[in-house]
Amino acid sequence: MDNIFLALFLLTPFVLIAGLLKPDIFNRLTKKTLTRKRIGLIFGGLTLLFFILFGVTTDTSSVPQVTTQNKAVSGLNDNNTVKQGNSETEAVITNISSQKSDTNEAKQVQTEVIKVIRVIDGDTIEIAGGQKIRYIGIDTPETVHPSEPVGCYGVEASNKNKELVLNKDVRVERDISETDQYGRLLRYVYVGDLMVNEHLVREGYANSSSYPPDIKYQNRFTEAERLARDEGKGLWSSFCDSWEYSSTNTTIQPSTTNGGTFVCDCSKTCSKTISSCAEAQYLLNVCGCAARDGDKDGIACDSSPLNCQN
């Protein structure tokens, strides 16, 4: 019956339109003079009537099933509603668990695998394609900044970073921001199951450094730093107690390396005033004299008269 009323409900608007456009057709059929207004009232009323009759006669047999499912969903923690052995309720619970699982999987961050072709310093790398990545949530001492001095444990942090990721395929994970103000990608970096960001902090090569909104793992980094401090590792060891430097890269205290004493002086050149490859590498790695490595391969003065090679 409901199908009949549905058909009549859908048909009457078309009859109404036809009557309004050509009322003479109805006048001939009914042998009465009907105005457009009267035709509109008649068939408008019929349309409303058929709609009401269709709603009244519609089969409501599916309603109890919906009610049962809703009751089961809303009363998962109600022992009077969800009973062991009730197959219908168990099916609803299973469906809910599946939906939660799908939602959690959707929320999981997507990662990608890329190759590291160069380590710039302790917290910055370059990947295949030339893009640079800045590690999220940590900060290592400067080694290559043009206007800041080389920091204590900066060279060690850079070398450790090389040991962990250089020439390896690493997995990178994004937080909120895509890049920083310098255009570097912001990422968490993994070698296998090891998060490099956290490992550098835990071993004393870096400190925890929070820059909202990228703070997904900041609590982990803060705890890693606390443990490194308590254990006196790296930056928190006595090694840095006697570290002295000024505000420029050119007046760092002398250091003895490979039997020679070198003083930071970035005005020295490979072709004239640098005495040895050891001094050249010291100026590059410790003093941050980037000009001594024109081809950016990490080897100082390798194409000069000194012809330094690893």
Please state the φ and ψ torsions of residue 241, each to the nearest 5 degrees: -65, -35
User: Whole-angstrom Cα distance, residue 98 to residue 46?
Assistant: 48
184 is catalytic: yes
Residues of 150-173 as b/e, b for ≥16 C-beta within 10 angstroms?
Answer: bbbbbbbbbbbbbebbbeeebbbb
ω into residue 254 within 30 of 0, thus cis?
no
Could you tell me if 132 and 184 are in contact, meaning their C-beta atoms sit under 8 angstroms apart?
Answer: yes
Could you tell me if 208 and 225 are in contact, meaning their C-beta atoms sit under 8 angstroms apart?
Answer: yes
User: Whole-angstrom Cα distance, residue 149 to residue 172?
Assistant: 30
134 is catalytic: yes
| Token pair belonging to 33 | 């003079």
| Token pair belonging to 99 | 């939906």
Least Cα distance to 197 among 167, 171, 236 occurs for 171
Amino acid present at 260: G
Q: Identify the DSSP state of 159.
A: H
From 142, 198, 203, 225, active-site residue: 142
**H-run or E-run covering 280:** helix 277-285
User: Whole-angstrom Cα distance, residue 249 to residue 254?
Assistant: 12
Helix (H, G, I), strand (E, B) or coil at 138: strand
Where are the extended beta strands (E) located within 53-182? 111-121, 124-127, 132-135, 138-139, 169-173
From 118, 174, 184, 220, active-site residue: 184
- 308 φ/ψ sector (left φ>0, alpha ψ -120 to 50, else beta): beta
Q: Which residues are catalytic?
A: 134, 142, 184
